[in-house]
Chain A
């Protein structure tokens, strides 16, 4: 309870779902995470429509030449402090696309990433665990 800013961020992390060229599998699991079954509003997590309202960016997909400037723009649009959480195996590394001419590498080459959640797709429980770990690091 040293910093009220950290407390506020921990108690109400609003998430913005940023799909950077994913195969849609992780996105469906993220939507699953936000359904009443898992009820993440218990922890103050709300899905917001605009990156200006967001405290955490959930990024899915492998980073490529086309999506990099867009991702960076959304990251710059998000007011700081904000968390960046990579969801899915693609976001964690280059995976099966590693030999592609188009892939420009992992996210933490371009911005600070607070947590990577592996899985293809990760289960909603794994995402909750990842967000909890990212928040407890603050």
Chain B
């Protein structure tokens, strides 16, 4: 993004589309999440300001650092994931609305940025010196190894369709001229794979074994309180907005038309419905599911993409 001056870049990271905009929309989407879950369970659900009240309360509460924890890693880990999501928001939105500002390989950069929030959770959980949170961290790591393989297979599909383009701006432009990738068979399979990987990246059921509240008491987040917990929840909220944005950008025609808002809502509601209708996997079942079922589907999608289906 060489065309932006210093203060414009700062504005992009802090106000729009970075920190403020993304976290606001993300928190509203967590309200949508809770509302849809409530409707599924035939109840009324919380008021719209509920996520903001939660945030305010957590920010004003005491932050406890457990005795014996690695203090710096424990408190800096939430910032890592949070900062990664701010950068992701800027890259994603500029690639959509100003395709000329995106650079070669930003698709790969985004894959790595989306890997940072789980990494932050693993670091924070390991630093907290709690056996249950260590169990959670090991599950998070296993899960990450599981879903990253089909996720990468799925992302190869649009790259093959465009003949080796790894620039997000060009992927968006290619979809505007040649139709969205989800219209082809291989693209549809890849989009479904990415949807399930979103579920796992967000840590929603059926892939919430790292945070399993009933068996390991919130697992990775067990020792977090106050501001640090608020940062983790904010990161999750931003991911709830950015992961569907990424799916729509790469497979479903980009974010430039007004229809994109409906598409985003459709993806988010689909994720929430999967969340509400599935019980939790065991970790070994999840790994098997990702590697041998989704992985095989991913390879099939790649082969189909090579024969232009």
Contact = CB atoms under 8 A, between A and B. Distances in A.
Question: Is B truly associated with A?
Answer: yes
Contacts of B63: 79
Given A49-B214, A49-B217, A49-B218, A4 B225 contact: no
Interface in A1-35: 4-5, 7-9, 11-12
30 contacts: A4-B56, A7-B56, A8-B53, A8-B60, A9-B57, A11-B49, A12-B50, A36-B42, A36-B43, A37-B43, A39-B44, A39-B45, A41-B43, A42-B46, A42-B47, A48-B213, A49-B213, A49-B222, A50-B217, A50-B221, A50-B223, A52-B223, A52-B224, A53-B221, A53-B229, A79-B61, A79-B63, A79-B64, A79-B226, A81-B62
A78 B12 CA distance: 38
A39 B226 contact: no
Nearest to A52: B225
Interface of A: 4-5, 7-9, 11-12, 36-37, 39, 41-44, 48-50, 52-53, 55, 77, 79-81
Interface of B: 34, 38, 41-47, 49-50, 53-54, 56-58, 60-64, 213-214, 217-218, 221-226, 229
B229 A41 contact: no
B54 A44 contact: yes
A12 B51 CA distance: 9
Contacts of B57: 5, 8-9, 11-12, 55
Given A41-B46, A49-B213, A49-B217, A5 B60 contact: yes
A53 B53 CA distance: 14
B56 to A, nearest CB: 4
B64 A52 contact: yes
Contacts of A37: 43
A11 B45 CA distance: 14
